[in-house]
């Protein structure tokens, strides 16, 4: 018997609205699960400003770091509240790790697009996502992209994110002879990053739900003791900084309608749409919330919540907001309803008052790099589900995965994979299995390589 078979009478308005008793849970368990989810994903408050902020690798081309921190927290609160109150799923949202890397390294650094215009692209992708979410078009698009390519995109982003972590930590460095080679393991920052990677991996293997966060804390403590990380100037601070980012996405929206930005928007939409769909279905399946037909109940509301989080985050000042797979930690702790998500949102609201603490972490690449590497490992697990014994899948999948880190661009990887997929399917005499949308995407990305790619 599943939890959905148990339908006792609700004990109050909160219970009745979220269906807590009906799903075999309790208010206390939902609140505890929401807390566990927050602990599992709160590292985003340190890592996202480190990736997008002007104190990180982007330098003067980055978004003001404090504004990114506040925007990250606000976007998480908005997206997660909508998910919890409207879709009523135990799923939390925050700016995505792969998409923030695409925003920073591919769009701002690679294409030379100012962050204000990049936010406009994020906003536009969120609006389009919302339209797709509330219409039946979403089902046609999901069916159009083959599963093997969806898996390859996720794994490739994982490789790219891990490569960023290795580079930022100094574990791998540039080389004129071989492009990259091993860094100096006697350097203090590199040693600290290696320590952080080691302890984070141990915490993960032990099954600790907040493994990434605990790894960051342990690395920060060792960094402070060794003098490699500075102590914060305070602990609590009133949230501010959004005056420099709020509304910039709207002001610069006219710049989003160019050929170059079309590729940016399409990539953001592609990654967010399928990442959110896969994450939601996976979490719902773990929680026993899928319908008898295997489909996601209230799918429109769930995907719309993701798009609303992206739209709100772009207006506030951060990259694409999406459903976090770390929500599985809360589900493992017993979370089954939207109250879990609401609890997580409340914790993010509290956390936005602690910028001085998170700023120390955001300004120390050796501390945040292990988190990026580990997140990359978790995303790369999708490689195991690709049918490598079939070359018509293996070739475009491999090109997608390998091109992302080697060209320092998520867009290049997606473009290469979607360019080759129809070709190999034709060669395999399986042309009827290629959806018309794939032919359109092939032509779009062919034009991208010839006219827009660096």
**pLDDT mean for each 10 residues of the chain (454 residues):** 53 89 94 93 94 91 96 97 97 94 93 96 96 85 83 89 92 91 94 96 90 92 93 87 95 92 92 87 86 80 95 97 91 93 97 92 89 89 92 96 90 90 94 90 85 64
pLDDT at 55: 87
Decide if 308 contacts 78 (C-beta within 8 A): yes
pLDDT at 453: 62
Contacts of 154 (CB under 8 A, 6+ apart): 274, 275, 278, 379, 382
Give CA–CA dist 308/304, Å, rounded.
Answer: 6
Decide if 340 contacts 40 (C-beta within 8 A): no
């Amino acid at each position: 018997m599943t939890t959905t078979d148990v339908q006792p009478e609700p004990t109050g308005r909160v219970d009745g609205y979220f269906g807590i008793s009906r799903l075999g849970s309790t208010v206390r368990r939902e609140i505890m699960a929401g807390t566990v989810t927050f602990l599992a994903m709160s590292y985003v408050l340190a890592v996202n400003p480190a990736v997008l902020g002007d104190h990180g690798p982007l330098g003067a081309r980055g978004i003001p770091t404090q504004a990114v921190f506040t925007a990250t927290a606000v976007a998480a609160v908005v997206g997660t509240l909508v998910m919890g109150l409207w879709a009523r799923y135990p799923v939390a949202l925050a700016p995505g790790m792969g998409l923030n890397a695409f925003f920073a390294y591919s769009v701002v650094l690679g294409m030379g697009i100012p962050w204000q215009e990049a936010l406009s692209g994020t906003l536009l992708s969120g609006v389009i996502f919302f339209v797709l979410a509330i219409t039946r078009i979403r089902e046609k698009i999901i069916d159009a992209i083959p599963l093997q390519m969806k898996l390859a995109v996720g794994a490739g982003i994982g490789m790219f994110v891990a490569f960023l972590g290795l580079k930022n930590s100094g574990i791998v460095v540039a080389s004129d002879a071989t492009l990259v080679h091993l860094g100096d393991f006697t350097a203090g920052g590199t040693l600290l990053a290696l320590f952080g990677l080691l302890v984070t991996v141990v915490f993960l293997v032990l099954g600790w739900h907040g493994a990434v966060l605990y790894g960051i804390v342990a690395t920060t403590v060792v960094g402070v003791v060794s003098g490699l990380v500075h102590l914060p100037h305070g602990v609590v601070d009133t949230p501010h900084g959004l005056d420099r980012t709020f509304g910039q996405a709207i002001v610069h929206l006219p710049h989003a309608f160019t050929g170059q930005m079309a590729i940016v928007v399409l990539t953001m939409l592609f990654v967010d749409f399928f990442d959110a769909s896969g994450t939601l279905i996976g979490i719902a399946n773990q929680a026993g919330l899928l319908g008898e037909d295997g489909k996601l109940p209230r799918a429109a509301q769930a995907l719309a919540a993701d798009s609303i989080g992206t739209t709100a985050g772009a207006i506030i000042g951060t990259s694409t907001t999406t459903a976090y797979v770390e929500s599985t930690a809360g589900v493992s702790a017993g979370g089954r309803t939207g109250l879990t998500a609401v609890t997580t949102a409340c914790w993010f609201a509290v956390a936005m008052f602690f910028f001085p603490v998170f700023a120390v972490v955001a300004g120390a690449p050796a501390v945040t790099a292990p988190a990026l590497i580990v997140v990359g490992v978790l995303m790369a697990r999708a490689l195991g589900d690709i049918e490598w014994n079939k070359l018509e899948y293996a070739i475009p999948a491999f090109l997608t995965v390998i091109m992302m880190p080697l060209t320092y661009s998520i867009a290049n990887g997606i473009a290469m994979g979607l360019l080759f997929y129809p070709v190999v399917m034709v060669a395999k005499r399986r042309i009827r299995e290629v959806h018309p949308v794939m032919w359109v995407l092939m032509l779009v990305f062919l034009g991208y390589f010839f006219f827009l790619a660096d």
